[in-house]
Every structure is written in C-alpha cells, then in structure tokens.
Amino acid sequence: MLRSRCLGALALGVLSSLGCGPVEYLNQVSSRAATALLLAQQQGARRYAPYEYAKAAEYYHKAREEAGYSSYQAAIDYGRKCEELASKAQALSRERSAPRAAGSAPAEAK
C-alpha cells in the first residue's frame, strides 16, 4: 500500500515537472523574445545595430528550432539570449538615431 502511494506521488511529480518546459518556452520565446525582436526592428536596429539585431534574430530562430525537437531548456536559453541582444539593439538604435533625428551631426572621435 505504501509502495503504491510512493509510486503514485513520484509519477505525479514527474508528470507535473514535464509541463513546465513548454510553458516557460511559450513565455520566454513566443512572448518576450519575439516582442523584443519586433521592437528592435521597429526602432531601426537593422540599420543602427545590425550585428546585435542579426544575432538576436538568429538566436530566435535557433530557439524555435530547439523547441521543435522538444529541447525546451535549450530553447529557453536561446530565447533569453535573443531578448538580451534585441534589447541591446533597441538601446543602440535609439542612441545612434538620436543625433540624426535632432538634426545635428554625431560628435567625431578625437
């Protein structure tokens, strides 16, 4: 009797932990990373931060690929990298496009 309860509790624990990967993937990749990448694109990151934007886009595609193989932890990690780089691309885009928007030339390095 005790053995069957222990096995039942173990099975319940395993089944509940299996559901966390896809949920976290949806939150990280499909929501946060995709939104950050879209915002970076809208702010002109392809022009003002091409390296960061391209790398973020590749991390996003790799995250989706890993999820296709049910490698959710790897997909989540790539999604976090995508979000970080897309945020950096957004900041660089704002910084680099600001002097042009104000009508002044960027300061030259001495």
Q: What is the pLDDT of residues 25-79, one digit of tens each?
A: 888 999 999 999 999 999 999 999 999 999 999 999 999 999 999 999 999 999 9
pLDDT in tens, 65-92: 999 999 999 999 999 999 999 999 999 9
Distance CA 76, CA 8 (A): 30
Instruction: Give residue limits of the domains in the chain.
Output: 20-96
Using alpha carbons, select from 29, 27, 19, 18 the residue that is nearest to residue 68.
29
Q: Burial code of 57-70, b = ≥16 C-beta within 10 A, e = fewer?
A: bebbebbbebbeee
Residues 11-24 have a mean pLDDT of 64
- What pLDDT does 20 receive? 77
> In terms of C-beta distances under 8 Å and separation of at least 24 residues, what long-range contacts does 14-21 make, across chains too?
21/70, 21/72, 21/73, 21/76
pLDDT of residue 17: 52
More confident residue, 30 or 9: 30
